[in-house]
Structure 1
Amino acid sequence: MKLRKVSAAAATALVLTLTATACGGDGDSEGGSGSGGGKKIKIGIKYDQPGLGLKEPDGSFSGFDVDVATYVAKELGYKPDQIEFVETKSADRENALARGDVKLIAATYSITDERKAKVDFAGPYLLAHQDLLVKTDSDITEATDLNGKDLCSVTGSTSAQNVKNDFAPKANLKETGGYSECLAGLQSGSVDALTTDDSILAGYAAQQQYKGKFKLAGLKLSNENYGIGVKKGDTETVNKVNAALEKMVKDGAWEKAVKDNFGPANYKNEPAPKIGTIVK
């Protein structure tokens, strides 16, 4: 009889332990579940794009995408210490959402029809354009001025090839492993221009070591509608994020984030885009 009482007590303890485990632990920090309370939210960002998504040496994060993501998370019920920023490479963004590794992605994620077949988007929250970054004393004012000049971009990027195909077929294309190498070439004079989204260019130009050395040409070679990626079919989250973005614009936090992150590069940003309106 005593053995039975001990067994019952042990069984009760086991049930309580399993219940506690189910209510806490790793499940609270998953990318896809819950809102607010003691839970956490995982948001995918870039770690290597100054002005947009950058992991600082002290482990903190900065950039326009980071500011937008933090504001949205707050509106979803999360405090800053409940946000976990996860590095999300461009090629892995769709998979990260599908796997549930992250709840949201704010990482210069242009909304395209091809991507919309795999994920849902809130936004857009920024309209960027492909542009050129040149030295402040450069005489390059149009893409056609690149004929016979050295144009730099990262390996695998379509930006530089677009310039060659559509504007300057005689441009000398130089591809590097990263934008920092292009910037070094631009600074030394081994290349004449760097091309990618103007928001990315502005972020690099705003870095302390480059202030006053580079300028944006101010061209609009393409339209890039940045959206916040959400797992396909999660309409409820899309609606909540859209409401948060609309509030961010209305209360002035969006404009402040633009000036804080891109201001030193004299970035001529477009007005805040209307939610759901994609500029082709």
Structure 2
Amino acid sequence: MTMNPLRTRRLTIAAAAAVVLSFTGTAYASGGAAGHRDDGKITVGIKFDQPGIGLKTPDGTYTGFDVDVATYIAKQLGHDPKDIVWKEAKSADRESLLQRGDVDFIAASYSITPKRAEKVDFAGPYLLAHQDVLIRADDDSITKPSDLNNKKLCSVTGSTSAQNVKTKIAPDAQLQEYGGYSECLTGLENGVIDAITTDDSILAGYAAQPEFKGKFKLGGFELSNENYGIGVQKGSELKAQINTALEKMVADGSWAAAVQKNFGPAGYQAEPAPKIGVVVQ
């Protein structure tokens, strides 16, 4: 049977359109859309409630080290800051956000662990943090981890940080669990508690807030290693692209500048930029 030339042309155009559509939204992830949008924007998951790390301010802007890192990465991927759609990535939601393709990548104080790596891939690490304590600047009674014995130690309800101290380091610490770190800070400022514990980067971010300037200091105890990574979908080619961006960020000085900008006011002594692909146990 001889096919109508016009019909053949229409079928060819339709087939070509189908091929184009099949690639729409797959600019990064080899396995799917991963949050990519037709309008050229990129969706990034961050924390909205961690000063110095990832914070949504009352005027609707976003600040913090993870925000600066994510903005740099996005630029290396071809996106201006105005192209970034910020999405809140609460700790319990991070894997599902990536698996559903709701975000392109996540930068949200996201520690690389074997359990998490079963579900998502990680670029980085881009920051080596440690569990530490925050104490009052004029407190000379806590100079080593064992000094936390018989001290009132605060952390957020459900956190593993305080339990880690109580079971492994200072069993006689008086654990106080509050609803949020802001409440812990108020208690520390008022003398109701003696120390707060979580990642040193998070503590430094809180302490660096203008209203707390000069009031607190980090213990510098390095109670654990927390390797912060950039989460992406399993099998996504974004991992390699983000690793390249992170290496450039370190090389051109932008990484060090972001550390100083976000953590410097609290006297945070950051580890050197970690080597890509090397997770410190």
Scaled by the length of structure 1, what TM-score is found?
0.88
Contact 2:112–2:122 (8 Å) recurs in 1: yes
Unaligned segments of structure 2, at least 5 residues:
1-9, 27-31
Distance 1:60 1:113 in 2: 33
Distance 1:238 1:147 in 2: 43
1:243 equivalenced with 2:244 (yes/no): yes
Number of the residue aligned with 1:112:
113
Number of the residue aligned with 2:29:
none
Q: Deviations over 1:31-77 (max 9, x none)?
A: 72659x94111000000000010001110100000000000000001
Number of the residue aligned with 1:272:
273
Number of the residue aligned with 2:225:
223
SS at match of 1:263: helix
Distance 2:80 2:138 in 1: 45
Contact 2:132–2:198 (8 Å) recurs in 1: yes
SS at match of 2:170: coil
Amino acid at match of 2:229: G
Contact 1:31–1:41 (8 Å) recurs in 2: no
Number of the residue aligned with 2:177:
175
Distance 2:66 2:36 in 1: 22
Contact 1:31–1:42 (8 Å) recurs in 2: no
Q: Deviations over 1:154-199 (max 9, x none)?
A: 0010000000011110111000110000000000101000000000
Q: 1:195 to 1:33 in 2, by over 3 A?
A: closer
Using the aligned pairs only, state the percent identity: 63
Contact 2:187–2:193 (8 Å) recurs in 1: yes
Number of the residue aligned with 1:128:
129
Contact 1:32–1:41 (8 Å) recurs in 2: no
Residue-pair matches, total: 259
Contact 2:36–2:104 (8 Å) recurs in 1: no
Give the alignment's Cα RMSD to 1 decimal.
2.2
Number of the residue aligned with 2:66:
65
Q: Deviations over 1:76-124 (max 9, x none)?
A: 0111111011001000000000011101000000000000000000000
Scaled by the length of structure 2, what TM-score is found?
0.88
Distance 2:56 2:196 in 1: 23
Contact 2:227–2:280 (8 Å) recurs in 1: yes
Runs (4+) of structure 1 exceeding 6 A deviation are none
Displacement of 1:141? 1.1
Contact 2:55–2:63 (8 Å) recurs in 1: yes
Number of the residue aligned with 1:259:
260
Q: 1:190 to 1:34 in 2, by over 3 A?
A: closer
SS at match of 1:215: strand
Distance 1:31 1:106 in 2: 18
Displacement of 1:137? 1.1
Distance 1:214 1:246 in 2: 33
Number of the residue aligned with 2:142:
140
Contact 1:31–1:102 (8 Å) recurs in 2: no
Number of the residue aligned with 1:207:
209
Number of the residue aligned with 1:164:
166
